[in-house]
Structure 1
Amino acid sequence: MKKVIAALSLSALLASGFSALDSYRRVPNNSFGPGEHIEYRVHYSFLNAAEATVEVSPTVYKVNDRPCYRVNVYGRTVGAFDLVTRIRDTWRSYIDTTAIVPQKFYLNIQEGNHRKEANVTFDHQNNLVRSEEEATKDIIKVPDNVQDVISGYFYLRTIDFNKLSVGQTLEVPAFFDKELYNMRVRYRGKDVVKTKFGRINVIKLNPVMPPNKLFKGEESIRIWVSDDTNKVPVKVEVDLMVGAMEMDLRHYSGLKQNLRFFK
């Protein structure tokens, strides 16, 4: 009898242990994976202003004992803009492959004379983030499944927008620059846009912007993503207080499925 009780106790202990280890949510993801590489060209009026690259490493990394996609986002000015304000930015997120939440975030900003570097580690078991920036270290309480600015975008790619009504707004908790905020995105239905590769069916999204001195209104950013399982942004328009910017798809490879363009 003692052996039976001991065996049952051990089973219960192991079960509770595995339950604790597996307390992360599970998000179905057919939209992206290792090896994805996307390049964009940014225009300001009729001028080429910048280039941006979003790439998912072909290698899966282990961070906080969890398998993660490593996503790098690079931004750089080109042409005349590079002479006026030289930008070389690197953003990096290690995104949990199962829960699609960040385990670690890194930022290196080089914009003119401005420099900034930050490291953020996420503790989702205890709902904490540890932020290291310059000489300061902070521990901040956060809500469940909090995102960084990169992982939040990849999480939105897993959403089935066919289940939303036009005008419906999604809210995702996010952490950036030592602050918590709600990442809000409004679904605006479907459309067709023209690209350098041809025309493509798209989903229209509006990130809802809070009042600020840079963007013109809460719907000043318009994003068109491919209406397929990839949900890759193919075009972005931004209304600024002074002028407007447009970002177009320049090159892509390693997608989950081929983008379907037509004439």
Structure 2
Amino acid sequence: MKKSHWITLAFIFTIFLISFRQYDQNRVITNKSFGTGEKVEYRVHYGFINAAEAKVEIGRSISTINSRPCFKVNVSGRTVGAFDLISRVRDTWRSYIDTSAIIPLMFEREIQENKYRKDEKVMFNHTKDQAISTVKNETKTYNVPNNIHDIISGYFYLRTMNFERIQEGEVIEIPTFFDGDVYKLRFKYAGRDVIKTKYGKTRVLRLNPLIPDNKFFKGDEPMRLWVSDDTNKIPLKAKVELVIGSLEMDLKSYKGLKKEIVWF
């Protein structure tokens, strides 16, 4: 994988964690965690230097893909300040998630990283366990494992999960389709904690993505994520340990949540 892709994934992984179940168009996942109109913004910084901004938005209205109602989720990221001069990033990721089954039906990405450009659309056929990717005018069909996700949709399913049923230290392995490949992503639930943000203190769940050895990251568990310990389960803080230092992500603003976060 290209270095630029690893750096992009580092940002995405700090924001999005993934889970899965058997696909069934008739199933209904109880969802009290998110809905249309939600918007969350983050600031990514390297020490005291602002490095990037990220935004996660759910469309104000329901979209339709293959006659199924879907949440349209947009994720955008951009470098700022000095980082924008060194490595300019303007990325947009989009997932259309079945409102009942909480599984992706379509995924899109528009990548601008310095001179690198890539636009891709992926259609998911869960009945046949296929991902159909179109880049420019070339379409390829990939066989994928059952319960495949894109890197956005699984996080939204995760938000519906009951962490009372998950043991501290438990590792979840997730098959995910990205850039023409299937990755077995592994995540560890590291228990509960309390953190301080610009809005005050609040209770959180600690989640650590586990990644293969890589020369860009430092330590055995270089990525850490703190998610609100409530029905929302939105990321409030993240940290990525790099060989050359660490990147941190903090909550900048939010609105449209299903339930107000309890600060103290």
Q: TM-score, normalised by structure 1?
A: 0.88
In the alignment, what sits opposite 2:92? 90
Of the three residues 188, 204, 217, the one matched with 2:206 is 204
For residues 230-254 of structure 1, what are the alpha-carbon distances to aligned partners after superposition, in whole Å with 9 as ceiling and x for unaligned? 0010000000122110000000000
Shift of 1:215: 2.0
The gaps in structure 1 that reach 5 residues or longer are: 1-21
Query: In structure 1, the residue corresponding to 2:41 is in which secondary structure?
Result: strand
Shift of 1:183: 2.6
In the alignment, what sits opposite 1:193? 195
> What is the letter of the counterpart of residue 206 of structure 2?
K
Of the three residues 141, 144, 147, the one matched with 1:145 is 147
For residues 52-84 of structure 1, what are the alpha-carbon distances to aligned partners after superposition, in whole Å with 9 as ceiling and x for unaligned? 000000111110111100000010111111122
Query: In structure 2, the residue corresponding to 1:149 is in which secondary structure?
Result: coil
Q: Equivalent residues in 2 for 1:1-263 (5 A)?
A: 23-262=25-264
Shift of 1:136: 2.9
Deviating beyond 6 angstroms after TM superposition, the runs of 4 or more aligned structure 1 residues are none
Which has the larger displacement, 217-226 or 194-203?
217-226
Query: CA 1:241 to 1:24, structure 2 compared with 1: closer, same or farther past 3 Å?
Result: farther
Identity of aligned residues (%): 52
Q: CA RMSD in A?
A: 1.3
Q: Which whole-Å CA distance do the structure 1 matches of 2:183 and 2:145 have between them?
A: 10
* Partners of 2:25 and 2:101 within 8 A in 1: no
Higher-Rg member (1/2): 1
* Partners of 1:209 and 1:217 within 8 A in 2: no
Query: In structure 2, the residue corresponding to 1:175 is in which secondary structure?
Result: strand
Q: Which whole-Å CA distance do the structure 1 matches of 2:190 and 2:43 have between them?
A: 24
Query: In structure 1, the residue corresponding to 2:168 is in which secondary structure?
Result: coil
The gaps in structure 2 that reach 5 residues or longer are: 1-23
* Partners of 1:146 and 1:174 within 8 A in 2: yes
Q: Which whole-Å CA distance do the structure 2 matches of 1:197 and 1:246 have between them?
A: 17
Give the total of aligned pairs.
241
Shift of 1:212: 2.1
Q: Which whole-Å CA distance do the structure 2 matches of 1:34 and 1:108 have between them?
A: 22
Q: TM-score, normalised by structure 2?
A: 0.88
